[in-house]
């Protein structure tokens, strides 16, 4: 079965049809820069453009970088605040004319990693953390998602964790890999103290460079890089849309 997955990020909106059983894109993905400002209508127009590009007529799964309950965006840390309270599912469905599922971006990436990636077959408590503009989190218990955990906003040294340890913070503060790894380690120690996961999967664009920082991160929990990397959001969104 194929569904269309669309991943809304702070800088780009990416989409592709996905073979959901295999967790693989079936066509080359399309990436369109996120409109500035990233207001709901402008973003929905890009979603509709991606749907039209693939001539898509079936189910669509869309990620959103904030809390999503019942298709409604509840927070918007790294996108325009007009999103808060917007019925994203109704907006996208109205704009595309297609049945749409909307879920948090890190939750989608986690769904993909649990199904076909680095956390495949893992029972118990598994945590996926994505390091990008912010820090996203997806918590799984025996393969079941506990949605909207938002662990990037935990407070560390009086500051939101994502303001200190996201990949964006690494770039903005011009941190060396080892300095940044220290911040990531402190953050991971915090989450492992709270959840005692058996596995932590590190995702987001920076997971491509895992060899530069993961060996420097010393925690008790097993930590592995995501295997789907930049495609995890698209794949997980498509998988969510395929659920009955």
Q: How far apart are CA 47 and CA 238, in angstroms?
A: 14
Q: Which residue is nearest to ligand BGC (CB)?
A: 134
17 touching ligand BGC, by CB under 6 A: no
Nearer to ligand BGC, 116 or 151 (CB): 151
Q: Which of 38, 100, 130, 207 binds ligand BGC (CB under 6 A)?
A: 130
Least separation in angstroms between residue 104's CB and ligand BGC is: 5
Question: Among 23-31, 132-140, 172-180, 236-244, which window interacts with ligand BGC (CB under 6 A)?
Answer: 132-140
Question: Among 20-28, 39-47, 98-106, 187-195, which window interacts with ligand BGC (CB under 6 A)?
Answer: 98-106
Residues 6+ apart with CB under 8 A from 66: 73, 74, 75, 76, 77, 78, 79, 83, 84, 104
152 touching ligand BGC, by CB under 6 A: yes
At 216, list the tokens.
């420097």
Spell out, one character per residue from 50 to 89, where the chain touches ligand BGC: x when CB under 6 A holds, - when not.
---------------xxx-------x-xx-----------
Least separation in angstroms between residue 232's CB and ligand BGC is: 12
Q: Is 85 exposed, middle or buried (0-12, 13-18, 19+ CB in 10 A)?
A: exposed
SS3 at position 144: strand
149 touching ligand BGC, by CB under 6 A: no
Output DSSP code: residue 76.
Answer: -
Looking only at residues 153 through 212 of this chain, which bind ligand BGC when binding is defined by CB under 6 A? 162
Which helix (H) or strand (E) segment holds residue 23: the answer is none
Ramachandran region, residue 134 (left: φ > 0; alpha: ψ -120 to 50; beta: rest): beta
């Amino acid at each position: 079965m194929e569904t269309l997955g669309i991943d809304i990020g702070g800088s780009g909106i990416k989409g592709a049809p996905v073979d959901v059983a295999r967790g693989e894109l079936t066509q080359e993905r399309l990436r369109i820069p996120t409109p500035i400002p990233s207001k709901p209508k402008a973003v929905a127009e890009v979603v509709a453009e991606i749907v039209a590009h693939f001539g898509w007529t079936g189910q669509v799964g869309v990620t959103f970088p904030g809390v999503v309950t019942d298709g409604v965006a509840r927070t918007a840390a790294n996108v325009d605040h007009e999103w808060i309270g917007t019925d994203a599912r109704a907006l996208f469905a109205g704009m595309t004319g297609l049945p749409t599922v909307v879920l948090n971006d890190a939750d989608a990436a986690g769904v993909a990693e649990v199904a076909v990636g680095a956390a495949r077959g893992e029972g118990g408590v598994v945590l996926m953390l994505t390091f990008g503009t912010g820090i996203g989190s997806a918590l799984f218990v025996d393969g079941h998602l506990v949605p909207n955990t938002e662990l990037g906003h935990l407070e560390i040294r009086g500051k939101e964790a994502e303001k200190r340890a996201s990949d964006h913070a690494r770039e903005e503060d011009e941190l060396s890999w080892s300095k940044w790894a220290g911040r990531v380690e402190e953050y991971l120690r915090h989450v492992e103290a709270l959840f005692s996961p058996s596995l932590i999967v590190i995702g987001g664009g920076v997971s491509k460079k895992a060899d530069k920082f993961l060996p420097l991160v010393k925690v008790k929990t097993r930590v592995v890089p995501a295997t789907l990397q930049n495609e995890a959001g698209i794949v997980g969104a498509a998988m969510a849309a395929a659920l009955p």
